[in-house]
Amino acid sequence: MTLPNFLIFGVQKAGTTSIYSYLLQHPQVYMSPIKEPGFMGCEASGLTAAEVDQIVPQFTPGGRKRILRLEDYEALFDQVQDEIAIGEISPNYLFCYRKSAADIQKYVPQAKLIAVLRNPIERAYSDYLMNVRQVVGNRKSLAEQVAMSATTSHTLSKGSMQMASNTT
């Protein structure tokens, strides 16, 4: 069983997608074929397979299949051959740090941790511009979004006012 020896996490809109694509090109680096598997710290950790199937949504709001079981996470690294660095990128490990830190210690305690950060003003503005480009119905100004979600969400609302609590 091969698991990552490095994890990258951080804030949205800080370049993790670019970093992922650069690392995919390096011959001595194996990256999870799924960017942002989000296994560490997910709400399914500690649940039985039956509980996961019944309780936890199997897909993200964006429609991507979620990695909820250890065996599914391990399968992401089945194709590792002789790469020196084996990793994955899940920005949300930073925001679910209480659960993700415990899972990282449990499953990959020797993994190197790499945090990707960005000036918060530039990050918020970049997120706002992405929302404008996506035209998903978000008619609120950047100031209104920040005022509404500054204490309850790590990302600005994308078209609705459903906000995720970051208390986990």
Judgement on whether residues 22 and 75 belong to the same structural domain of the protein: yes
How many domains are there within the chain?
Answer: 2
Judgement on whether residues 67 and 149 belong to the same structural domain of the protein: no
pLDDT for 112 equals 98
- Range of the structural domain that residue 38 is part of: 6-116
Judgement on whether residues 112 and 126 belong to the same structural domain of the protein: no
Give a yes or no: residue 1 inside a domain. no
Judgement on whether residues 44 and 88 belong to the same structural domain of the protein: yes
Judgement on whether residues 146 and 88 belong to the same structural domain of the protein: no
Cα 134 versus chain centre, distance: 20
Give a yes or no: residue 91 inside a domain. yes
Judgement on whether residues 76 and 90 belong to the same structural domain of the protein: yes
pLDDT for 129 equals 83
Judgement on whether residues 50 and 91 belong to the same structural domain of the protein: yes
Judgement on whether residues 54 and 69 belong to the same structural domain of the protein: yes
Give a yes or no: residue 136 inside a domain. yes
Residue 87 contacts residue 8 (beta carbons within 8 Å) = yes
Q: Phi and psi for 40 in degrees, rounded to 5?
A: -70, 125
pLDDT for 126 equals 87
pLDDT for 7 equals 98
Residue 123 contacts residue 12 (beta carbons within 8 Å) = yes
* Sheet of 112-116, strands arranged across: 29-31, 85-89, 6-10, 112-116
Judgement on whether residues 108 and 125 belong to the same structural domain of the protein: no
pLDDT for 160 equals 37
Judgement on whether residues 13 and 37 belong to the same structural domain of the protein: yes
Q: What is the mean pLDDT of each run of 10 residues along the chain (168 residues)?
A: 94 90 97 92 70 71 79 95 96 88 95 94 85 66 66 45 38
Q: Report the CATH number at residue 69.
A: 3.40.50.300
Judgement on whether residues 104 and 129 belong to the same structural domain of the protein: no
Q: Any residues with CB less than 8 A from the CB of 148 and at least 6 apart, and which? A: 140, 157, 161, 163
Judgement on whether residues 11 and 94 belong to the same structural domain of the protein: yes
Entry pTM: 0.74
